[in-house]
Structure formats: C-alpha cells, structure tokens
Amino acid sequence: MFETFYPILFLVLFATFLAFMLVAFSIILGRRTSLGKKFQAYECGITPEGSTKDPVPIKFFQVAILFLLFDIEVIFLYPWAIVSRQLGWFGFIEMLVFIVILLVGYFYVLGRGALKWD
C-alpha cells in the first residue's frame, strides 16, 4: 500500500537535496561581504526606520479583536450549509436568529464608533 506514496517520498528527498545543494553552492561560489546593509531587517527593499518595539495605535488592536470575533463566529455557517436542505425551514430560521444576534453585535460596534478611523 505504500507504493502510492513513493512520489511523495521522492519529492521530499529531492527538495531536501535541492535545498542543501543551493546553500552549498552559494557558500562555495559566492563572495563574502559584510556590508552594513546585510545586517538590516529585510523589508522588500525599503529602508527600515525606527524600532520594532514602538507601540502600535490601539485602534489596530480594536479592529483586530473585532475581526477575530466575527471571523470565528461564521464557522457555524459551514455545517449548516452542508445540511441546509435536510433541515429546511427550521434550520433556516435558526440560522436567521443566529445572524440577527451577530448583527446586533455589529450594529452595537458601529454605534459605539469602534470602527471609526480618524
């Protein structure tokens, strides 16, 4: 039964081999320099500035926390979506109740101005 996994094994071996080879080649062939820029954090070519320990505005946390909440709550829709036909109207109404409860939360958040960004 393991025959089916041979390609995967081959892929794993090849990937490992390739990774080692690339590193080895760069060590053997490459020139070694120790310029200042080499020790900077890599930021896609943009010169980084400031310290990473600067406090982030609290708004980011607020939005992140709220996102986390609404994002996870939607998980209930998936099991329902699979059996929605069998459950029929009952399931639909229950899901509607659930969505309405989420919406109340959403409108509360909106009303309190937690999503305003000035």
Tokens of 25: 């080649």
Beta carbons within 8 Å of 80's beta carbon, 6+ residues apart:
87, 91, 95
For position 53 contacting other proteins by CB under 8 A, the verdict is no
Helix (H) or strand (E) holding 65: helix 58-73
Nearer to other proteins, 11 or 104 (CB): 104
For position 111 contacting other proteins by CB under 8 A, the verdict is yes
Nearer to other proteins, 23 or 110 (CB): 110
Distance, CA of 99 to CA of 109 (rounded, Å): 15
Where does this chain bind other proteins (CB under 8 A)? 58, 61-62, 65-66, 68-69, 72-73, 75-76, 79, 87-90, 93, 101, 104, 107-108, 110-112
